[in-house]
Amino acid sequence: MKRILAWAGVFVIAALFVLLIVLAVSGAEAGAIVAALVCLVLFPAILYGCMLFYRMTGKRRENEKEDGE
Per-residue pLDDT for the chain (69 aa), expressed as one digit of tens each? 678 888 888 999 999 999 999 999 998 899 999 999 999 999 889 988 888 888 888 866 666 666 555
Cut 0.85: pTM above it = no
Amino acid at 23: L
pLDDT for the residue numbered 25: 94
pLDDT for the residue numbered 61: 62
Report how far Cα 40 is from the mean position of its chain's Cα atoms.
9
Contact residues for 15 (Cβ-Cβ < 8 A; gap 6+): none
